[in-house]
Amino acid sequence: MENLKDDSICIHGGYKAKSGESQVLPTHQSTTYRYYDPDKLADLFDLKEEGFIYSRLGNPTVAAFEKKMANLEKGIGAVAFSSGQSAVLSSILNICKKGDHILASSKLYGGTITLLKSTLSNFGIKVTLVDPNLSQKEISKKIQNNTKVIYGETIGNPGLNILDFEKFSEISKKNNIVFIVDNTFATPYLFKPLKHGADIVVHSATKYIDGHAVALGGVVIDSGNFNWEASNKYPSLTKPDESYHGIIFNEKFGKQAYLTKLRVKILRDLGNTLSPQNANLLHRGLETLHLRMDRHSENALKVAKFLEKHPKITWVNYPFLESHDTYDLAKKYLKKGGSGVLSFGIKGKIKSAKRFMKSIDMISLVTHVGDLRTSVLHPASTSHRQLSDEELEECGVKKELIRLSVGIESCDDIINDLKKALKEV
């Protein structure tokens, strides 16, 4: 079933019942796994064999979700985490330590910016945020000898900047540095970063992968293409690890080195594990990802075009509007659609934005995106509240920006609700 098309992987990926087993993925609600031979269990602990030991490190339901995600992204495997934040953090901690440096696009999710600039910085991992639309030469100038990660988002949240994969993957290849991409807004249905030069993909599965606003989760997927040995920048994968009897991850696990270390060291030591219940909900969410993403994209483009013509709207930001900064990149990379998120500004700035949010009816005011229900948020006073004016500007969030996550209801009803609310402004 590995070669099915995306629509079929969404439904059948990750789990296939054996004769007489339950047709639908069961939730293995167990923290632990029984063995009869102590030597077998010892071998599992020594990583000589694969199997489930304890659910902090792995669980059959979580494994099914990981397998489906790896298959959709065309990676060699995946490790799931308790949240998107946890996945982003873990993807970095797996290969960075005190004294290392990250070069990241400035057009990122607010939580990722505070993680990089504040929390990781306090642990001695420094970051440089760079405008992703600068030239290759200008971005390359920011690379340092200790740069271990190049980081970006396929579709920036909430600025919706489309990352130039050709440019970023060239910079990463020329400098032998891992290129990590957050593909949350695009999902593997609309875009596969690993096919465009990314080495590792991370997701907040909480958004479109879940799709129903019921579970938090995150996942990291590896392409298996990065040559750790040749780059000579990642001693934690290429030198003996004392916490595992001196094994060398790269030597022992080859292409699986990064993912194995992510599981047996990061999950083991940090314990930021996805629960089986949430894994099952996310696995279920994926079953309709293809249908939802088509509809989200279709509705969002219609709504963007409606807002663009509305007299009370000053600007609209959606990757498939010709006025968008990275419209050409959207056309180049997002062949199936621009996903469901757009942003806009209302005449009268913040005061009008608040009036608008008080006047919506079917559309809900929530801190979320990617749900099948249309929702709005004002990032400058909520999700991006901790950022300074300068940082807001840098990550592309104007103060009056309203983020609209267009759902999969009837587009007529969405537009009517917007019309009614705008009348009150």
**65, 34 in Cβ contact below 8 A?**
no
Helix (H, G, I), strand (E, B) or coil at 218: strand
**Minimum Å distance from CB 126 to ligand PLP?**
20
109 vs 244, beta carbon nearer ligand PLP: 109
Q: What's the min distance (Å) between Cβ of 244 and ligand PLP?
A: 29
Task: Please answer whether residues 221 and 73 qualify as being in contact, where contact means their C-beta atoms are separated by less than 8 angstroms.
Answer: yes
Count of CB atoms within 10 A of residue 157's CB? 30
Could you tell me whether strands 218-222 and 200-204 are parallel, antiparallel, or unpaired per DSSP bridges? antiparallel
Least CB distance to ligand PLP at residue 294 (A): 20
Which among 248, 254, 278 is positioned nearest to 84, based on CA atoms?
278
- Smallest distance from ligand PLP to CB 283, Å: 16
Closer to ligand PLP at the Cβ: 84 or 276? 84
CB closer to ligand PLP out of 208 and 234? 208
Strand ranges, E, within 77-183: 77-81, 101-105, 126-130, 147-153, 178-182
Enumerate binding residues for ligand PLP (CB under 6 A): 83-85, 88, 109, 111-112, 153, 157, 182, 184, 204, 206-207, 216, 218
Residue 99 to residue 200: CA distance in whole angstroms = 22
Give least dist CB 158 to ligand PLP, A. Answer: 8
Q: Which C-beta is closer to ligand PLP: that of 122 or that of 367?
A: 367
Residue 213 DSSP code:
S
Q: Closest CB to ligand PLP belongs to which residue?
A: 84
Q: Which is nearer to ligand PLP, 367 or 388 (CB)?
A: 367
| Residue with smaller CB distance to ligand PLP, 75 or 218 | 218
Enclosing H/E stretch for 345 = strand 341-346
The C-alpha torsion from 249 through 254 and 259 to 263, rounded to 10°, is -40
Residue 276's nearest CA partner among 9, 25, 1, 3 is: 25
Which is closer to ligand PLP, CB of 127 or CB of 143?
Answer: 127
Provide, rounded to whole angstroms, the least separation between the CB of residue 109 and ligand PLP: 4
In the complex, the smallest distance separating the C-beta of residue 369 from ligand PLP, rounded to whole angstroms, is 6
